[in-house]
Amino acid sequence: MNVLNLILGIAAVVCAGILTFIATPVVRTLAYYFGAVDVPRDDRRMHKVPIPRMGGLAIFFGFVIASLAFCNYSETLLTIWLGGLIIVALGIFDDIFSLNPFIKLIVEVGVALLAIKQGVLFEHINLFGTYVHFGMWSIPITVLWIVGLVNALNIIDGLDGLACGVGAISAATLTLVAFLFAESEFALVTAILAAACIGFLPFNSNPAKIFMGDTGAMFLGYALSIISIQGVFKLHTVLAFGVPLLAFGFPLLDTVFSFFRRVFTGKNPFEGDKKHLHHRLIAAGFDQKQSVNILYSVSAVLGIAAVLLSVQKFISAAIIGVGAIVIEIAIFLFIKNPESRDNLGFDLPPLANSEKEAAAGNIVFENEDVSVAVKESEFVSDEPAAVEETAAADEPAADCEPVCVEAEPETEAETEAETEKETKTEKESETKKSKKDKKKKETKTEDVKDEKDKKEDKKKTDKKKDKKKDKKKAKAKTSSKVKTRSKARAKKKKK
């Protein structure tokens, strides 16, 4: 790579980030106009105020413009543009109308088949220097990889900035791997994608002003899946297939575990729940920023291990992976210990407060400027297995948002009755507060009126006194004039 190409690559990255950054406010305005707003109607939402979605349109805009301007034309890039356009359109409709998951799945499969028609195919993997060909299984494996990664990025999009930051880290990992193997075109494409994500993060970080929505999460998953198949999986290196698996390790593992957990517990695998890894971190007492930073670090460590694996540094990759796992286990154990919990520096709530709040039946949910009390049963899964999992821990999970979890009520009727009671009490408290506020306002207005009346009375009395003084002065002047005149007349008479 010569100096000119390096300068052009840097310019492309900067251009993608700036274009995404300046396009985000426009997309935010459009989201409000078209009604693409995420209203927190269920307990899975980590926010408590409506926030616009569809922010992925800005990422797509920044990526397409920068790649059109700086990248050489290729079938792979055309596949990302065409398939990405369909995925973004699907995401926009979903962000506005909340489409059925099966409709989205059908469109995702269709986009994957379109990519296969364009020549994107998972034909073989390099396993310890031996090429394993998939033959007739190439098409279903390719479809599974594309659809799986599209949904993996969408599933982890549960906290402010999480999916966008993880997508940027994964794209940066692929950039480094492609750069090491002199794949300059793939390196430039992934670098532009990472820069577009970074340009969106200032608006998406906690507290988020806009969400990527399905528009952005699905586009990131689609673009990364195409790049990984055409670039990383086809590298001539031992265990090349492990590089993308590590680079996308966090979203892939979370997706696989969530899918099988729901299937084994008899739930719809396409329905959301609060058992994802980021939800469990929130349940452990971390706030959104802390949880996102922890998952960023996990993704970064996996990315470093992927880079080392690509250059056959197996021992180094294993050391980093094992070291990260040991640190995470130590942090988990320290969190569970009341004595060492405060010494971690995460500003976690003490377990004693969590237990008191659990006994009261409420969970404190804090999200930056928003702080509301949420009913504890909202954060409990409907499945008995989930209760057993939480009970398996030595104590109920403490939380900033939520603080703790305990067993759910026995029947749905009881839960409905409890919710009705709570809503009634909340309404009564609100009415009482409103009445008190009205009384305070009335008393304030009466006090202001009294003060005004007193001031006016003082002004009137002061004016009357001034008039009396003026009259007295006038009389005194006239009397003095009369006296001087009488004295002058008396003198004249004497003469």
Three-state secondary-structure class, residue 129: coil
Lowest mean pLDDT among 218-232, 296-310, 436-450: 436-450
Per-residue pLDDT, averaged over 6-16, amounts to 94
pLDDT at 153 over 60: yes
Average pLDDT over the chain, rounded to whole? 80
Lowest mean pLDDT among 30-34, 221-225, 270-274: 270-274
Quick one: which H or E segment has residue 312?
none
Q: pLDDT class for 418, splitting at 50, 70, 90?
A: low
Q: Which range has the top average pLDDT, 173-187, 212-226, 400-414?
A: 212-226
At 362 the pLDDT is 40
Q: Are 79 and 192 in contact (CB under 8 A)?
A: no
pTM of the full predicted structure?
Answer: 0.69
Q: Would you list the domain boundaries of the chain? A: 3-336
At 495 the pLDDT is 61
Residue positions counted in the chain = 495
The token duo for 315 is 């021992």
Per-residue pLDDT, averaged over 45-54, amounts to 85
CB burial class (10 A; 0-12, 13-18, 19+) of residue 18?
Answer: middle
List of residues 6+ apart from 140 with CB closer than 8 A: none
> What is the percent of the chain where pLDDT is above 90?
40
What DSSP letter does each residue of 327-384 carry, written as one string?
HHHHHHHHHH-HHHHGGGSS-PPPHHHHHHHHHHTEEEEEETTEEEEEEGGGGS-SSH
pLDDT at 302 over 70: yes
CA dihedral sign, ordered 91, 95, 96, 101: positive
Per-residue pLDDT, averaged over 246-266, amounts to 88
Q: What is the pLDDT of residues 93-141, one digit of tens each?
A: 999 998 998 999 999 999 999 999 999 998 888 777 778 888 899 999 9
Whether the link from the prior residue into 338 is cis, omega within 30° of 0, is: no
- How big is the CA angle at 277 (ends 346 and 398), to the nearest 5 degrees? 45
pLDDT at 372 over 60: no
